[in-house]
Structure 1
Amino acid sequence: MKKLILTAAALSVSAGMAMAQDVTRLGTEGAYPPWNFINDSGEVDGFERELGDELCTRAGLTCEWVTNDWDSIIPNLVSGNYDVIIAGMSITDERKEVIDFTQNYTQPDPSAYLAASEDADLEGGVVAAQAGTIQAAFVAEQGWSLLEFATPEETIAAVRSGEADAVLADKSYLVPVAEEDAGLMLLEREELIGGGVGLGLRKSDTALKETLDAAIQSMKDDGSLNALIEKWEIGETF
């Protein structure tokens, strides 16, 4: 109980500081279900849409959603096109050299391989990954042949066409693809990369970071974050 009271107090104080901003712009990719995607109404949807809206409510922020291609999502945060990245972005030391992160709002999600055959050759073949992701960095570190694409859909298409032997991506993204396409399958091998997913912010926005950290913590404390994780089948709960 004491922890909950302290968290609520911190959230109230930090929310007051954050409300000095008229609008907080949330930047996402809109192309990575179930994390974020564009629904039939043309609106941002998914786990992070629900999460972002709830965090803004708890923090007393007026928020609006902005979509941005993945390969320029960090530069456009730094240049001021939006204020927060909420796009399934794993917390890594390399990214922390450029931007800041809140505490994680998901556990590290296992990365899985999707292939057309269960005996796909990872070490001697070609592995596709979305450019600028922890998966692309992992494949490169192994010394394997890496084929990078701007969007996750293109990585899947490369496996279907035979251009790549497998794709490495978040398991939560690949599971529905494997379930819907009988010609593709998940390999048994998985990788655990990164330190979980957090909100990305400019290093100068310390008050906003504190506000959002408190909102995330309040969702962890009351169980609502775990409920969202289970609803969208993102991965392990806290």
Structure 2
Amino acid sequence: MRKLCLASALALAAGGAVAQDVVRLGTEGGYPPYNFINDQGEVDGFEIELGNELCVRAQLTCEWVTNEWDSIIPNLASGNYDTILAGMSITPERDEVIDFTQDYIPPTPSSYIGLSADIDVTAATVAAQSTTLQASFVAESGATLLEFATQDETIAAVRSGEADAAFGDTDYLAPIVEASGGELTFIGEPVPLGGGIGMGVRESDQELKQTFDDAITAMKQDGSLNALLAKWFGEGAPSY
């Protein structure tokens, strides 16, 4: 999904947390259906249900911590939590800073949306969430990039006329387009980006990484991960 290049976190990532009684799972809490805050004020979504199940299988006591997207890797590196489950694409740039489990969502496409399907997105002003794969792609496309702290703000920029289009994960945008009643529409074909989504861990926490890898493997083998993907992303969701 999203890309964060934080060379400044390299030094921090060299250190890691020692073994502890509670494993803290870091998420954004603002990216449905991956992760969000529900009406009861609790973290919810695909990654929350997944993380809880992984902790049960690994016999770990876990708690959730929310963190803004822009600082989610530095705060993992500095020990504010022990893993990241936040729709984070596995990329070479990130892999220089932190480590990843195997993917728990296969590579998925990104899409442009706007008020008209006839927009030339290569010559338009395009909104994207900052420090993401999508923002990097737009910056290299010839379009004028407008970066925002949240994906919601990119949609608002399109509706207000500040941006001609927004670019983001298709899974995130599809329900917004559907709920808009025809106001918003997809532009062009989906764009394949990223190498799947995985759980981020500190480089020093190889035992914890292996523990979660084993649990993810078990969920792939018994079909429960595919069932969870279908529940949150629809029957046509990519699967294993």
Q: Name stretches of at least 5 consecutive residues in structure 2 with no aligned partner.
A: 1-18
Runs of 4+ aligned structure 1 residues displaced above 4 Å come to none
TM-score calculated relative to the size of structure 2: 0.89
SS of 1:80's partner is coil
Give the Cα separation in 1 of the matches to 2:145 and 2:111: 15
> For residues 122-180 of structure 1, what are the alpha-carbon distances to aligned partners after superposition, in whole Å with 9 as ceiling and x for unaligned?
11111111011111111112232111000111010001011111111110100110011
Give the Cα separation in 2 of the matches to 1:142 and 1:25: 38
Match of 1:209 in 2: 209
Match of 1:197 in 2: 197
Alpha-carbon distance, 1:121 to partner: 2.0
Match of 1:105 in 2: 104
- Please give the residue correspondences for 1:80-91 in structure 2 after superposition, counting only pairs within 5 Å: 80-91=79-90
Percent of residue pairs bearing the same amino acid type: 64
Give the Cα separation in 2 of the matches to 1:237 and 1:108: 10
Q: Is the 8 A contact 1:121 1:165 kept in 2?
A: no
TM-score calculated relative to the size of structure 1: 0.90
Match of 2:32 in 1: 33
Q: Is the 8 A contact 1:229 1:237 kept in 2?
A: yes
Give the Cα separation in 1 of the matches to 2:233 and 2:187: 19
Give the Cα separation in 2 of the matches to 1:203 and 1:84: 11
* RMSD, aligned α-carbons: 1.2
Match of 1:149 in 2: 148
Q: How many residue pairs align between the two structures?
A: 220
Match of 1:229 in 2: 229
Give the Cα separation in 2 of the matches to 1:34 and 1:106: 13
Give the Cα separation in 1 of the matches to 2:139 and 2:187: 19
SS of 2:100's partner is strand
Match of 2:161 in 1: 162
- The answer as to 2:186 corresponding to 1:186 is yes
Alpha-carbon distance, 1:43 to partner: 0.4
Q: Report which of the two has the higher share of helix.
A: 1
Q: Is the 8 A contact 1:29 1:69 kept in 2?
A: yes
Alpha-carbon distance, 1:60 to partner: 0.8
Q: Name stretches of at least 5 consecutive residues in structure 1 with no aligned partner.
A: 1-19
> For residues 50-107 of structure 1, what are the alpha-carbon distances to aligned partners after superposition, in whole Å with 9 as ceiling and x for unaligned?
0000000001110000000000001111111100000000000011111100000011
> Given residue 117 of structure 2, which amino acid in structure 1 is its aligned partner?
E
Most deviating of 186-195 and 219-228: 186-195
